[in-house]
Amino acid sequence: MRQFLFATAAATALAIAGPASAQSGAEKTAAAALEAAPVWDGHNDVPIQLRSRLGNRINDFDFSDTLDTARDGHSAMHSDLLRLRQGKVGAQWWSVYVSASLPEPEAVQATVEQIDVTKRLIARYPNDLQLALTADDVEQAMEAGRIASLLGMEGGHSIGSSLAVLRQMYDMGARYMTLTHGKTLSWADSATDVPKHDGLNAFGKDVVREMNRIGMLVDLSHVSEAAMHDALDVAKAPVIFSHSGARAINGHLRNVPDGVLARLPENGGLVMVVALPWFITEDLRNHAADRAGEKARLEALFPGLPDTVEAQLAKWDAENRPPVSTISDMADHIDHIRDVAEIDHIGIGGDYDGMPTGPIGMEDVTGYPALFVELAQRGYSQEDLEKIASRNMMRVMRDAEVYAASVGDMVPFEYAAGEPRDAGE
């Protein structure tokens, strides 16, 4: 079964990429790039899969092969050790995400639990995975043939509006934090919720300053456009977007607008381009909006008749098949970010195991080589591809470490216990 799936994915990737005669040079360029600089992926949600599927009981869980995990209402996982190797992944940011709907004290505890289960998973596979806390750790793990494994918090609710908790999360191994997830916080506006602060309030800006001081990367993937600009105004170290696209290509508010992209060269940060189809394929995003509108229309026409609504919506679905999302769509985002922010500010952040599927040819983590073939066909050099794969991310992490070392005598930012964090400037 595994061989069939791999063969199908490979055939699909080749069909998208073009004729074999035009393929050989691009394949060689991509292969050489990924051999020299394996993929350093910005975001993978395996940890929340361990929580939702297994209740974080992993002693009997086999991460070497997870293709048989389609059960109990779950589809098969996108990631395992075999497929990460096939996808040429050399370093992985594992997201220790917990729901933004949790009250903050519960979110803090749940985040600690996610850090624990991720560390335990890494420790179970010492020949394949290695916990990485620094850029040097990543480099050493890659040289040893292991997948460098880093921890990233997805959402500021994970620190419970406390800089002390932020510092302790860093001490437990977290090396980036996305400032928000899907909900606006008392100190930061989310891209997909009602804004309250026109970006970041005073405490939110101090969160960025304190993250810079301790060497934790500031991730802006889920924040509002105003919060992106506020963070860039304050940041002294490069920021990242761990899994986002270009808003000019797909208008989803989770994606990065050109005005922010244009500021990345000065800051030194990068956008790690996401593979989630609804964030990269505009026609698919519009189809989803049309379907939501049709569902609302049917519910207004047939109140109290859910079976009728379901039947009518099924008819609409049959008559309005969703567009497909392809590797080419993802490459379009990379092209645009290169054109606006330049090649040094692009990375890869798949979001696998945090979405239903990737685009055709990149349904799971095995698809990265096909993306790099597509980019090579578009004229990206081996040097360009190495930067996108991992060298840009390595430079960003080193720059953040250098800044933190340069302010090693700076005292921590402090807020009095019980002091409100939602105050303005």
User: Would you name the residues annotated as active-site residues?
Assistant: 43, 45, 154, 181, 222, 243, 351
How big is the chain by its Cα radius of gyration, in Å?
21
How many other CB atoms sit within 10 Å of the CB of residue 194? Answer: 9
**Tokens standing for residue 277:** 């189809």
Classify strands 89-95 and 39-44 as parallel, antiparallel or unpaired. parallel
Task: Give the 3-state secondary structure of residue 87.
Answer: coil
- What does the alpha-carbon distance between residue 228 and residue 238 come to, in Å, rounded to a whole number? 12
**Tokens standing for residue 379:** 């004229």
- What does the alpha-carbon distance between residue 391 and residue 386 come to, in Å, rounded to a whole number? 6
Give just the sign of the alpha carbon dihedral 200, 203, 206, 207. negative
H-helix segments, 55-127:
81-86, 104-124
> How many Cα atoms within 13 Å fall on the side-chain side of residue 352?
25
Rounded to the nearest 10 degrees, what angle do helices 306-319 and 282-301 cross at? 150
Contacts (Cβ under 8 Å, ≥6 apart) of 3: none
Determine the residue type at 405. Answer: A
- What does the alpha-carbon distance between residue 407 and residue 111 come to, in Å, rounded to a whole number? 28
